[in-house]
Each structure stands twice: as structure tokens, then as C-alpha cells.
Amino acid sequence: MAQYTRSSTRDKLNYLNPADGELEDRISPNDRPNRFSVGSSLRLPFGLNQKWGAEWNPVVDAIAGGWQLTGT
């Protein structure tokens, strides 16, 4: 899975001058205009109906079966 986001974060917090009628519009210091992220998931073959552990007791399967690894 991959995701790309393009954004612009703007702030309107303060007046540039005390006599101004509108707030100053500027790019936020927290602005991150380009963001790319990648994620993956891998199911481990342990547990009932899997390569290893197909004959496990249901209690053992509940503890040791059905695991997966996920990374971002």
C-alpha cells in the first residue's frame, strides 16, 4: 500500500499591525506540503488451516496462531 498527499497548511493567528482589520495569512511552520508513506502487511503461516500448526489444540492456536507483521 502506498499513499501520497499534497497539502498546504496556512495560519491566520495574528495581526501584522495593531491597526489592521484582517489577520495575517501565512504558511504555517507545521506545513508539510509533500508526504509519501508506504505500508505493508504479512500474515505468518502459523495456526489452524496454515502451513505450520494445522493440528494445534484450539487453546494453543488462540495464543500462537493468526499472527501478522505490519510495517509503515
Contact 26, 10 (CB under 8 A): yes
pTM for the structure as a whole: 0.47
Residue 6: per-residue pLDDT: 93
Q: Are 30 and 45 in the same domain?
A: no
Distance CA 15, CA 21 (A): 8
Query: Which of 8, 10, 9, 6 is closest to 34 using CA atoms?
Result: 6
Q: Are residues 21 and 47 in the same domain?
A: no
Tell whether 3 and 30 lie within a shared domain.
Answer: yes
Tens of pLDDT, residue by residue over 17-68, are 888 888 888 888 888 899 999 999 999 898 888 888 888 888 988 888 888 9
User: What range does the domain containing 67 cover?
Assistant: 40-72
Residues composing the chain: 72
Number of compact structural domains in the chain:
2
Whether residue 34 is found in the same domain as residue 54: no
Domain match, 11 and 34 both = yes
* 44 and 25 co-located in one domain: no
Residue 47: which residues within 8 A CB-CB, separation 6 or more? 53, 56, 61, 64, 65, 66, 67
